[in-house]
Amino acid sequence: MLENAISELPLVLFTTLAPLGAGAFVALAVSLLAVPLDERQSRRLDRLSFAPLAVVAAGFAASVAHLASPGNAFHVLNNLGASPLSNEIAAGGVFFVAALAYCVLAVFGRLKGAARKAGAVVVAVLALVFVLFVGCAYLIETIASWNHPATPVTLLGYALLGGCVGGTLLTRIALGIGAAVPPARFRVVMGGLGAVGAACAIGGLLTQGALTNTLHASITAGSALVDAAVPLTGIAVAGLALAMATHLVSLGVSWGVYASAVSLVVAAAATFLGRMVFYALQLNIGL
């Protein structure tokens, strides 16, 4: 039943790229709070902050491709407050504008010291709020296999794991290839957040499969959907675990920038497969 996932490929890309890019701003905030950066390293990190923003923008572009007419994107806010989709787009817009303003101000030297750190924390919080709104948009009563807390929790997990990996990579690049490992407090926080993300992503993915397996619609059994998705689920879970393991290694070695790059590729691929599984396990009530 993977046809469901293939038909929703633009949304698969959106829910892969947008949380990953948003989550990186959480890691960047931790970097500013926990890693002593000189002026050159600080400016390099500011320039690199545009990279996750571009990833989020690519995710939004993919979501627009899902609409029958791209012009309909201008009407999604008509039901703000009443429509989960409108709320999601509004939260995403607020986050994106705040992140863009932060990046521009930081690059041009308009944010320094405490103001810079405070701005990074605000953007990080808005990023997590945006990801949760994306997840909550899928709590649809008529789609029983999506309508449970594991749905937003899984997306939050993807954002934390992928974001920590991506943010660690950017931080290591800013510090300099081959530079000493970051301070212990950075390694502890990044390792802890990554572990929480991996647990939420893997746990949420397996929970959705277990719940879907118990459901049955008039012409489709949830167990049939789950059986068809088992190979992808296994690869996604293994990929998320591998990304986490590589992330932990990257935090403690001088060549961690290379390990972080590998971890980021694996995390992004595993997230993509996990989202494919999510859409493959779409079971509508009455169908």
Which residue ranges form the domains of the chain, and what is each CATH number? 3-280 (1.20.1630.10)
Written as six digits, the tokens of 12 are 């698969």
What digits encode the pLDDT tens for the residues 41-58? 999 999 999 999 999 999
In this prediction, residue 67 has a pLDDT band, given cuts at 50, 70 and 90, of low
pLDDT number for residue 40: 92
- Segment 146-175 shows an average pLDDT of 96
Q: Nearest-CA neighbor of 26 among 138, 139, 159, 136?
A: 159
pLDDT number for residue 112: 83
Judged against a pLDDT cut of 80, whether residue 36 lies above it is answered with yes
What is residue 171's three-state secondary structure? Answer: helix
Concatenating the DSSP letter of every residue in 112-170 gives -HHHHHHHHHHHHHHHHHHHHHHHHTT--TTBTTT-STHHHHHHHHHHHHHHHHHHHHH
pLDDT number for residue 222: 85
Written as six digits, the tokens of 76 are 């999604």
Written as six digits, the tokens of 52 are 């996750």
Judged against a pLDDT cut of 60, whether residue 241 lies above it is answered with yes
Judged against a pLDDT cut of 70, whether residue 76 lies above it is answered with no
Residue 136, judged by CB atoms within 10 A of its CB (0-12, 13-18, 19+), counts as middle
CB 276 within 8 A of CB 12: yes
pLDDT number for residue 77: 55
Judged against a pLDDT cut of 90, whether residue 217 lies above it is answered with no
Judged against a pLDDT cut of 90, whether residue 137 lies above it is answered with yes
Distance between alpha carbon 59 and the CA centroid of its chain, in Å?
10
Length of the chain: 287
3-state helix, strand, coil in the chain (%, to 5): 80, 0, 20
pLDDT number for residue 102: 97
What is residue 247's three-state secondary structure? Answer: helix
pTM beyond 0.85: the answer is yes
pLDDT number for residue 218: 66
pLDDT number for residue 63: 85
Judged against a pLDDT cut of 90, whether residue 64 lies above it is answered with no
Backbone dihedral region for residue 220 (phi beyond 0: left; psi -120 to 50: alpha; all else: beta)? beta
Written as six digits, the tokens of 142 are 């008529």
- Segment 24-46 shows an average pLDDT of 94
- Segment 140-164 shows an average pLDDT of 95
Question: Could you give the CA distance from residue 10 to residue 32 in angstroms, rounded to a whole number?
Answer: 34
CB 22 within 8 A of CB 95: yes
pLDDT number for residue 157: 98
In sequence order, what are the residues at sequence separation of 6 or more whose Cβ sits closer than 8 angstroms to the Cβ of residue 269?
239
Judged against a pLDDT cut of 60, whether residue 74 lies above it is answered with no
Q: At what angle do helices 9-34 and 256-280 cross, to 10 degrees?
A: 140
